[in-house]
Chains A and B, each alone.
Chain A
Amino acid sequence: MQQVAGVKPFGTSPISERTFAELLTPLIEPGLRLAVGMLHDPSAAEDAVQEASFTAWRKLAQIQHQDQLRAWFLGVVANKCRNARRRKWVADVRLGLPEQLSVVSGEERSLRGTDLRRAIARLRHEDRLVVVLYFYLDMPLEDVAVVARSSVGAARARLYRSVQRLRPELAVEEALR
């Protein structure tokens, strides 16, 4: 009954190490980019991707269609990021912004980047996910919806709402370019 981005089993036999490496290696970099966008902490991002890769090792043989693999893996990374942030929140009630990201005086570009990262960090997990996937991983909205496990309409609504929060002065269509 539950729909959207369902991953169906296509075989129960375990895959070989070589196949696993061939399938997973190209997914690590986008996974890392997603995790950086979600967590803003390079080492936490790599941890999240590593954990997602362990999950992939256990479950990769259950993926029916290879064309679903990227979306499925990014969904796993997103979940690991959510858990990582929860743990961090419980541990020290921070937003996951490392100290070294503080503003470099006099560099307006860095200041803007820090402000923008901080604003994105304040978005809810689901909103941040669509923003990172759409703007940073340059994924089309249809693929964003699959990773976010929502309808395209819901993903679009989330994106619009997030853009309005990030840049209230921008028209949404202008911001989505």
Chain B
Amino acid sequence: MSLRKQIHSAFDEVAPPAFGVPERVVQTVLAEGPSRRRREGMMLRLRVPLSMVAVFVAIALVVGVLVGGRLMQDWNSFRKPAPAGGGETQLAQLENRPLVLPTPAAYFDCKSGPYNPAGSFGKGPVYGDGGGISSTTWGLYYHNLAYAETDITGPILVRANDIFTHEPVVFVGQYAAGPVAGHDTVDGVAVEQHTELVFDTSQAAKVRSTHKFSWPFIAGVPKTWSQSTGWQIDGVGFSEVFVAC
């Protein structure tokens, strides 16, 4: 039995007979809709001030975290200056690693993965999760998340290409690095498109994250993309590749 039939059978076992339900639902709406609308209008007026308080609290939290983080960073760099050029040398070494991505012949040969047990892309130590989309006249921008659960020393370099068109995936915003590939305006913000992402565990975002280290980032693809991308993540002592088809 196909998975489709199994799912039909599994859900039909618990689905109530729909006889009469559509009419009942519509009649309930027509009977109660106008009074609910009035009630919700009153609720909305009550909710607005509360929501504004919530917004102010959220802004205060973000500002606090940013300012606190910056102060901590300044304090750390004051106490322990980084060795000159050390990080750059490591990054240059990572950039020199060749990009080795799968080359499937056709879309249906393209297999997404590997995934970790949580369903995120990657075999570790760095994993990737997809997120929301913003679009521009140039293409699409995915609000993704990279994360790690273990300490990683040194820089982490992320590069990605379209598997079929071989165009690079671009990165904008925080952590975007490397050569500038173009410019665009994303959600009203003018951005530079870069071809690399670079982060390390000292820069990981801690806010609202269930992961030990997390790096929210924005990846862009042109509208002509094949919907299949290969990703290579290089760090000191590891290199991993995954594919999203």
**A residues within 8 Å of B by Cβ?**
1-4, 17, 20-21, 24-26, 28-29, 32-33, 36-37, 40-42, 45-46, 49-50, 53-54, 56-58, 98, 101, 109-110, 112-114, 116-117, 120, 124, 127, 131-132, 135-136, 138, 150-154, 156-157, 160-161, 163-167, 170, 172-173, 175-177
Whether the Cβ atoms of A2 and B23 lie closer than 8 Å is no
Whether the Cβ atoms of A153 and B227 lie closer than 8 Å is yes
Residues of chain B contacted by A1 (CB below 8 angstroms): 134-136, 186-188
Whether the Cβ atoms of B10 and A54 lie closer than 8 Å is no
Residue of A with least CB distance to B188? A1
B174 at the interface (CB under 8 A from A): no
Whether the Cβ atoms of A25 and B11 lie closer than 8 Å is no
Point out the residue from B11, B108, B119 that lies within 8 Å of A161, measured CB to CB.
B119
Residues of chain B contacted by A2 (CB below 8 angstroms): 133-135, 187
Point out the residue from A3, A131, A157, A176 that lies within 8 Å of B135, measured CB to CB.
A3
**What's the count of A-B pairs with C-beta under 8 Å?**
150
Point out the residue from B10, B15, B21, B140 that lies within 8 Å of A116, measured CB to CB.
B10
**B residues within 8 Å of A by Cβ?**
2-4, 6-11, 13-16, 18, 21-23, 25-26, 28-30, 32-33, 36-37, 40, 108, 111-113, 115, 119, 130, 133-136, 140, 186-188, 227-228, 244-245
Given A109-B9, A136-B8, CB of A53 within 8 Å of CB of B3: no
Whether the Cβ atoms of B10 and A113 lie closer than 8 Å is yes
Q: List 11 A-B contacts (CB under 8 A).
A: A1-B187, A24-B25, A25-B22, A28-B18, A32-B21, A42-B14, A46-B21, A53-B26, A58-B33, A157-B244, A161-B115
Given A29-B18, A53-B26, CB of A150 within 8 Å of CB of B133: yes
Give, as a whole number of angstroms, the nearest-CB distance from B165 to chain A: 13
Residues of chain B contacted by A116 (CB below 8 angstroms): 6-7, 10
Residues of chain A contacted by B3 (CB below 8 angstroms): 135, 163, 166-167, 170, 175-177
